[in-house]
């Protein structure tokens, strides 16, 4: 193992003899970890004992290991730092897997430490044994089984380095119990180099020049940015680029906040539930600049339909395998998005040529015409609360400055459509895996990272029940989260698909026997509110957010049959949207597939 | 199209399963896969025979490069290369077959490495297609058993895959 690491001796600090468990603590200290989200058990008892004796980081005891990983994940999304979770072997480890897979799909840097049965018991079907390295292999950036306490420190260093660099992702470090008791010399390498892992940083200058030239010649340009822009902290550079060029910008679900939503050049989110103007501009542009986005199936719809119109595509991504995966691109640029976009800005600053103003004016006129369809409009009702209305008011009451986490379903799409994110790292959701149950633990991660910030968890009555036990964690750690439950008594997104594509056969999508959410919140020691009248929406939100030190569980009883529009049915092209005022469902019916 | 991909990876436990898992998870074909340590015992060299359109092969190479344990990847089909595979075939060798099996083996430059009362074991090296041709030249009923190593490959001349 040592042969692959090059460290000159000077990079070591002075050494000490410590147990494996103590070494793990010291590694976490060296990495300036603030929070470890975890849950104890047999295999990690030595680690928890060492944890008891330290006070540099805070341990957040969750009520389910899945929530530990989600909370660490949200901490990372909100701060840009590596999230850390600690779980025991066997069931603790498998409970963590959904959280790990969720982080993996959205490229979130995590280090997950899992306990393992003692080395000698591995492979014996020992009590609480599971092959964690095998189970997580397909959903981690990398994983390690530590076989010698002397390897612990370097393995931890590698784990943090791999998680955070290149295209980020979760790394699992599986530590057998005996290793945590063994004594070894502790020395934390300051830097690490791995011959097998060398992420690209700077983009190819020739390609960047070519890209800038193409952008300057574009007649119908479009900028499309994704989660990679947010994770790469390149939003300021992108705003500068878009402003210099005057081009329209769209963000993916993962990329919201990458470009300020209230800016006139912003045309809204694109994709399955994107705006009419964003999807049409995407479809009809002649030069497309994609930044930290991956042309996934929910974003470009049917790739053949997308490619049926000729356009030149420039694609900037830190991960070469994201380029030309689903859609062939013309100018690939592999590199850290921040450095590449900054280099484009420098080239533009030195360049006198500007895009063809006339062409751009015509293109904007076309976009404004699409915009005038106002597909985001919805009809307010005087008796029933519309879910869109709740999110709009949430945006107003929080002055657009809250951390908004969401679960998965219709409420997620409404939150994405109606909360206008002006800053990156404010919109925290599971875009890739689409994991119901992330909302509340995500809110915990955000609130811990930013104790004074407003944190709202937009959720559905299906999703919130998937990690409802975390209300107890919120009480223990005094997390004044505001839960915005859009309660439509349905697994709404499932119901919508059943309405459109399965002839209204609502198979198992009704949520029966819901708890009294107010009493439930109160029994956990929180404040509960029922809101049933449209005219009470705004006032109740003000009231809730005024309770700065309390978690408020707001149960908004909303329209049961409201649907998310626009919608690009599965397998259709981006410009083949169903809009809210058209029934449209029939046209899409034959294409339906879950 | 068939491609032969060579790669060098850290000789770590589980490295092989990462590669095999990648191919199954992403639905790529594997015709054969061989792996063994190199003269530098920290490195293993793997040869994968796969097939797919150019786009698929490009993705395979990128995905392999992305594996943290993989040090270097080379698509041998990008240049000139030599491909070799070893096959052991046990054939019936009774009566007139004894002569005939020897003759066919000679034609393909095989070697009889084990002789028993009713059978020969023939060792044959060559490209995959040569081994296929040998099997085709034999009557199915005389083949008792075959075992193939899967292809290994190396670039011609100055093409070197090394850290
Ligand atoms: C863990 C998990 N199971 C199942 C699904 C499939 N699914 C997607 S949306 C949805 C309905 C969500 O219902 P709810 O939380 O009430 O939100 P709504 O759509 O009503 O806003 C389901 C079941 C999922 N995304 N995640």
Decide if A137 and B18 are in contact by the 8 Å CB cutoff: yes
Indicate the pLDDT class of residue B3, thresholds 50, 70 and 90.
very high
The pLDDT tens digits for A526-550 are 999 999 999 999 999 999 999 999 9
CA dihedral for A51, A57, A58, A63, sign (positive or negative)? negative
Q: How many CB atoms lie within 10 A of CB A55?
A: 7
**CB < 8 Å to B65, chain A:** 320-321
What is the DSSP pairing of strand A482-487 with strand B2-10? unpaired
Q: Is B39 on the interface with A (CB under 8 A)?
A: no
* Closest-CA distance of chain B to residue A320, Å: 7
* Distance of CA A493 from the midpoint of ligand 1 (Å): 6
Q: B100-109 — which CB contacts under 8 Å span 24+ positions?
A: B101/B142, B104/B134, B104/B137, B104/B138, B107/B137, B108/B133, B108/B134, B108/B137
pLDDT of residue B71 exceeding 80, the answer is yes
pLDDT of residue A6: 47
Write the CA distances from A116 to A176, B21, B113, integer angstroms: 4, 22, 48
Active site residues of A: 65, 127-128, 177, 493
pLDDT of residue A584: 44
**CB < 8 Å to B70, chain A:** 196
Q: Ligand 1 atom 13: the closest Cα is on which residue?
A: A491
Q: Is A458 in the pocket of ligand 1 (CB under 6 A)?
A: no
Q: What is the mean pLDDT of chain A?
A: 94
- Nearest residue on chain B to A328, alpha-carbon basis: B55
Interface confidence (ipTM) of the complex: 0.92
* Closest-CA distance of chain B to residue A197, Å: 6
- Give the nearest partner residue to A196 out of B17, B63, B69, using CB atoms: B69
pLDDT of residue A229 exceeding 50, the answer is yes
Q: Is A411 in the pocket of ligand 1 (CB under 6 A)?
A: yes
Q: How many CB atoms lie within 10 A of CB B14?
A: 14
Q: Which tokens belong to B108?
A: 């393909």
* Closest-CA distance of chain B to residue A196, Å: 4
**CB < 8 Å to A196, chain B:** 9-10, 68-71
pLDDT of residue A593: 36
Q: Is A434 in the pocket of ligand 1 (CB under 6 A)?
A: yes
Q: Which tokens belong to A222?
A: 């479009």
Cβ neighbors of A260 (< 8 A, separation 6 or more) are A239, A266, A421, A422, A423
Smallest Cα–Cα separation from A529: which of A512, A545, A513? A545
Backbone angles phi, psi at A72, to 5 degrees: -65, -40
Q: Which tokens belong to B54?
A: 């150019």
Q: Which tokens belong to A411?
A: 């409420």
Percentages helix, strand, coil for chain B (3-state, rounded to 5) are 30, 40, 30
Residues A175-210 as b/e (b if ≥16 CB within 10 A, e otherwise) read bbbbbbebebebbbbeebebbbbebeeebbeebbee
Q: How many CB atoms lie within 10 A of CB B132?
A: 14
**CB < 8 Å to A194, chain B:** 68
pLDDT of residue A53: 97
Cβ neighbors of A380 (< 8 A, separation 6 or more) are A386, A389, A534
Cβ neighbors of A502 (< 8 A, separation 6 or more) are A592
Q: How many CB atoms lie within 10 A of CB A52?
A: 10
Burial tier of A157 (Cβ tally within 10 Å: 0-12, 13-18, 19+): buried
pLDDT of residue A272 exceeding 80, the answer is yes
pLDDT of residue A13: 54
Residue whose CB lies within 8 A of the most ligand 1 atoms, among A485, A493, A565, for a mutation test: A493
* Helix intervals (H) in A225-327: 227-231, 235-245, 276-284, 297-300, 303-307
Decide if B163 and A195 are in contact by the 8 Å CB cutoff: yes
| CA–CA separation, A179 and A22 (whole Å) | 11
- Give the nearest partner residue to A195 out of B14, B55, B71, using CB atoms: B71
Q: Which atom of ligand 1 is nearest to the CA of A412?
A: 21
**Taking residues B66-70, what's their average pLDDT?**
96
DSSP structure class, residue A492: H
Residues A507-542 as b/e (b if ≥16 CB within 10 A, e otherwise) read eebebeeeeebbebbeebebbbbbbeebeebbebbe
DSSP structure class, residue A204: P
What is the DSSP pairing of strand B43-51 with strand B32-37? antiparallel
Q: Is A467 in the pocket of ligand 1 (CB under 6 A)?
A: no
Q: Is A324 on the interface with B (CB under 8 A)?
A: yes
Decide if A133 and B14 are in contact by the 8 Å CB cutoff: yes
Q: Is B94 on the interface with A (CB under 8 A)?
A: no
* Closest-CA distance of chain A to residue B17, Å: 9
Q: Is B38 on the interface with A (CB under 8 A)?
A: no
pLDDT of residue A14 exceeding 70, the answer is no
Smallest Cα–Cα separation from A38: which of A85, A4, A5, A2? A85
pLDDT of residue A201 exceeding 90, the answer is no
pLDDT of residue A582: 53
Decide if B62 and A321 are in contact by the 8 Å CB cutoff: yes
Indicate the pLDDT class of residue A583, thresholds 50, 70 and 90.
very low
* Distance of CA A413 from the midpoint of ligand 1 (Å): 12
Backbone angles phi, psi at A549, to 5 degrees: -110, 15
| CA–CA separation, A87 and A64 (whole Å) | 10
pLDDT of residue A590 exceeding 50, the answer is no
Residues of B (109-148) whose Cβ lies below 8 Å from A: none
| CA–CA separation, A98 and A136 (whole Å) | 10
**Taking residues A27-34, what's their average pLDDT?**
98
**CB < 8 Å to A138, chain B:** 21, 25
Q: Is B68 on the interface with A (CB under 8 A)?
A: yes
Q: Ligand 1 atom 5: the closest Cα is on which residue?
A: A436
* Closest-CA distance of chain B to residue A283, Å: 23
**CB < 8 Å to A137, chain B:** 14, 17-18, 21
Q: Is A136 in the pocket of ligand 1 (CB under 6 A)?
A: no
pLDDT of residue A500 exceeding 90, the answer is yes
pLDDT of residue A588: 44
| CA–CA separation, A410 and A565 (whole Å) | 10
* Distance of CA A77 from the midpoint of ligand 1 (Å): 22
pLDDT > 70 in chain A, percent = 95
Decide if A142 and B71 are in contact by the 8 Å CB cutoff: no
Cα A192 from chain centre:
28
Q: How many CB atoms lie within 10 A of CB B114?
A: 11
pLDDT of residue A580: 81
**Taking residues A128-134, what's their average pLDDT?**
98
Q: Collapsing DSSP states into helix, strand and coil, what is residue A458?
A: strand
Predicted TM-score (pTM) of the model is 0.95
Sheet harboring B2-10: ordered strands across? B32-37, B43-51, B2-10, B70-75
pLDDT of residue B13: 86
* Closest-CA distance of chain B to residue A105, Å: 14
A178 close to A317: Cβ distance less than 8 angstroms: no
Q: Which atom of ligand 1 is nearest to the CA of A490?
A: 20
**Cis upstream peptide for A566 (omega within 30°):** yes
Decide if B65 and A328 are in contact by the 8 Å CB cutoff: no
**Taking residues A422-428, what's their average pLDDT?**
98
Q: Which residue has the higher pLDDT, A586 or B96?
A: B96
The pLDDT tens digits for A275-290 are 999 999 999 999 999 9
Smallest Cα–Cα separation from A271: which of A224, A310, A318? A224
Residue found by looking up tokens 């409802």 in the block: A468
Q: Is A304 on the interface with B (CB under 8 A)?
A: no
Residues B55-68 as b/e (b if ≥16 CB within 10 A, e otherwise) read ebbbbbbbbbebbb
pLDDT of residue A570 exceeding 90, the answer is no
Q: Is A138 on the interface with B (CB under 8 A)?
A: yes
């Amino acid at each position: 193992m040592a042969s692959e690491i090059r460290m000159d001796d000077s990079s070591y600090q002075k050494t000490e003899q410590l147990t494996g468990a103590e070494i793990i603590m010291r590694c976490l200290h060296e990495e300036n970890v603030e929070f470890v989200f975890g849950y104890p058990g047999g295999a990690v008892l030595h680690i928890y004992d060492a944890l008891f004796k330290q006070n540099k980081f805070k341990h957040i005891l969750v009520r389910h290991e899945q929530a530990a990983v989600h909370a660490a994940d949200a901490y990372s999304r909100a701060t840009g730092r590596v999230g850390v979770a600690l779980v025991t072997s066997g069931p603790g480890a498998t409970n963590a897997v959904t959280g790990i897979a969720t982080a993996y799909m959205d490229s979130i840097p995590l280090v997950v430490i899992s306990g393992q049965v003692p080395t000698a018991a591995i492979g014996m079907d020992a009590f609480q044994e599971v092959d964690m390295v095998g189970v997580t292999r397909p959903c981690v950036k990398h994983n390690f089984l530590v076989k010698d306490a002397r390897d612990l420190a370097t393995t931890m260093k590698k784990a943090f380095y791999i998680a955070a660099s290149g295209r980020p992702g979760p790394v699992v470090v599986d530590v057998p119990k005996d290793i945590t008791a063994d004594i070894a010399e502790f020395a934390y390498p300051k830097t690490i180099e791995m011959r097998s892992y060398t992420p690209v940083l700077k983009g190819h200058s020739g390609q960047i020049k070519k890209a800038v030239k193409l952008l300057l010649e574009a007649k119908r340009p479009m900028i499309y940015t994704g989660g990679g822009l947010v994770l790469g902290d390149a939003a300021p550079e992108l705003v500068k680029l878009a402003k210099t060029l005057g081009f329209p910008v769209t963000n993916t679900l993962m990329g919201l906040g990458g470009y300020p939503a209230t800016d006139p050049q912003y045309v809204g989110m694109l994709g399955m539930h994107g705006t009419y103007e964003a999807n049409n501009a995407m479809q009809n542009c002649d030069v497309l600049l994609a930044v930290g986005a991956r042309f996934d199936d929910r974003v470009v719809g049917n790739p053949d339909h997308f490619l049926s119109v000729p356009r030149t595509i420039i694609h900037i991504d830190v991960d070469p395998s994201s380029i030309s995966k689903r859609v062939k691109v013309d100018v690939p640029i592999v590199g850290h998005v921040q450095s590449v976009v900054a280099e484009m800005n420098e080239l533009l600053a030195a360049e006198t040529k500007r895009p063809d103003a006339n062409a751009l004016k015509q293109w904007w006129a076309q976009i404004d015409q699409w915009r005038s369809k106002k597909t985001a409009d919805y009809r307010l009702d005087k008796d029933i609360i519309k879910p869109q209305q709740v999110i709009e008011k949430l945006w107003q009451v929080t002055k657009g400055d809250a951390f908004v986490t969401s679960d998965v379903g219709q409420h997620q799409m409404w939150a994405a459509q109606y909360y206008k994110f002006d800053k990156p790292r404010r919109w925290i959701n599971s875009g890739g895996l689409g994991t119901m149950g992330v909302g509340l633990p995500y809110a915990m991660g955000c609130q811990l990272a930013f104790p004074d910030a407003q944190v709202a968890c937009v959720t559905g009555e299906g999703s919130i029940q998937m990690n409802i036990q975390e209300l107890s964690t919120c009480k223990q750690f005094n997390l004044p989260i505001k839960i915005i439950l859009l309660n439509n008594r349905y697994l709404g997104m499932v119901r919508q698909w059943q309405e459109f594509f399965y002839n209204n056969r609502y198979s198992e999508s009704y949520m029966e026997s819901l708890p009294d959410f107010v009493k439930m919140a109160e029994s956990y020691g929180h404040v509960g509110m029922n809101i049933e009248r449209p005219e009470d929406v705004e006032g109740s939100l003000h009231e809730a957010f005024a309770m700065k030190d309390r978690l408020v569980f707001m149960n908004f009883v909303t329209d049961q049959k409201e649907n998310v529009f626009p919608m690009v049915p599965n397998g259709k092209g981006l410009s083949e949207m169903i809009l809210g005022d058209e029934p449209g469902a029939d046209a899409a019916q034959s294409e339906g597939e879950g | 199209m068939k491609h032969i991909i060579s790669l060098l990876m850290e000789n770590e436990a589980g490295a092989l399963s990462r590669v095999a898992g990648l191919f199954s998870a992403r639905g790529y074909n594997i015709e054969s896969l061989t792996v063994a340590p190199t003269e530098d015992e920290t490195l293993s060299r793997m040869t994968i025979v796969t097939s797919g359109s150019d786009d698929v092969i490009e993705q395979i190479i990128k995905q392999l490069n992305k594996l943290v344990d993989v040090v270097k990847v080379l698509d041998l089909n990008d240049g000139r290369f030599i491909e070799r595979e070893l096959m052991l075939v046990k054939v019936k060798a009774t009566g007139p077959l004894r002569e005939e099996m020897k003759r066919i083996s000679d034609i393909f430059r095989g070697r009889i490495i084990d002789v028993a009362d009713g059978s020969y074991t023939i060792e044959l090296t060559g490209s995959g297609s040569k081994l296929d041709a040998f099997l085709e030249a034999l009557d199915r009923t005389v083949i008792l058993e075959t075992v193939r190593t899967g292809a290994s490959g190396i670039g011609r001349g100055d093409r070197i895959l090394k850290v």
